[in-house]
Amino acid sequence: MLTLEGVCAGYSVVPVLKDVSLRVEPGQFVAIVGPNGAGKTTLFKTISGIVRPSAGSIQFEGIDLLAVPAAARPHLGIAHVPEGRQVFPSLSVMENLEMGAMTAAGQRGWKENIERIFALMPVLAERRSQVAGTLSGGEQQMLAIGRGLASAPKLLMLDEPSMGLAPAIADFIFEKLQEIRAQTKLTILLVEQRVAEALESADRGYVLEAGRVVLEGNNATLRADDRIRQAYLGM
């Protein structure tokens, strides 16, 4: 579904991403983990078109993404839930969800999608008229995920969904992601610092350090790797 080959990208002459290659197959849950400053958020911004790569290629379902403007990429089926949630604070919960449904697929499937979103995250249904800026951090994260789902995506990209949340709330968010995947068979690409939880949820993972992929493999392979166990799992 998504293929990156030799991608270099950044914000100046010194690249943040250095020769990054990865693959995401349809229906997979893929985690990208690594320390702060590794380039994880830059990677997502490059896929969604906010950052233009200086080298390499990005293909989505056989389409050259570098030839597609950033504003058109959601219409291909790519939903990017950004770091820090970034809900529209002055809009209601329902208005935020409607903003996510601006794609053609989101418009066509609005009734079914909103029912699914409210079933998965009932708090959003309960607070549909509440201004988003008054929600708790966990509720805002659920709203950000719901807004992504409202676009009826093929690929849901989640950037640090546990950031700034209490451990119990972060665990709840991970449970919801598993539930979403089980019910929708959606392809998920996750960037996360909570390595143990990310790898437990994912089929496949990539470890990004200093802008390079230093390890990759399936769930079991990465969790058994001594470097992962010592550096990220505290074992």
Q: Measure the CA–CA gap between 163 and 216, rounded to whole angstroms.
A: 23
Q: Which of 222, 139, 145 is nearest to 188 (CA)?
A: 145
* Alpha helices, H only, 33-192: 40-48, 73-76, 93-100, 104-108, 110-120, 122-126, 137-149, 167-184
Local structure of residue 70 (DSSP, 8 states)? G
Q: Which of 81, 79, 44, 32 is nearest to 198 (CA)?
A: 32
103 or 36, which is more confident: 103
Q: Where are the domains of the chain?
A: 1-77+154-235, 86-152
pLDDT over threshold 60, residue 12: yes
Q: Which is more confident, 125 or 161?
A: 125
Give the whole-angstrom CA distance, residue 207 versus residue 105. Answer: 33
Provide the mean pLDDT of the chain.
Answer: 90
What is the percent of the chain with per-residue pLDDT over 70, rounded to a whole number? Answer: 98
Amino acid at 93: V
pLDDT at 235 over 80: no
Please give the average per-residue pLDDT across 120-128, as a whole number: 94
Residue 224 tokens read as 């058994």
Query: pLDDT at residue 211 above 70?
Result: yes
Confidence grade of residue 233 (pLDDT, cut at 50, 70, 90): low
H or E element in which residue 158 lies: strand 155-159
Please give the model's pTM, rounded to 2 decimal places.
Answer: 0.91
User: Worst-scoring range by mean pLDDT, 137-146, 160-169, 207-216, 221-230?
Assistant: 221-230
State residue 234's pLDDT score.
58
- Give CA–CA dist 210/96, Å, rounded: 35
Q: What is the per-residue pLDDT for 232?
A: 67
Fold of 1-77+154-235: Rossmann fold (3.40.50)
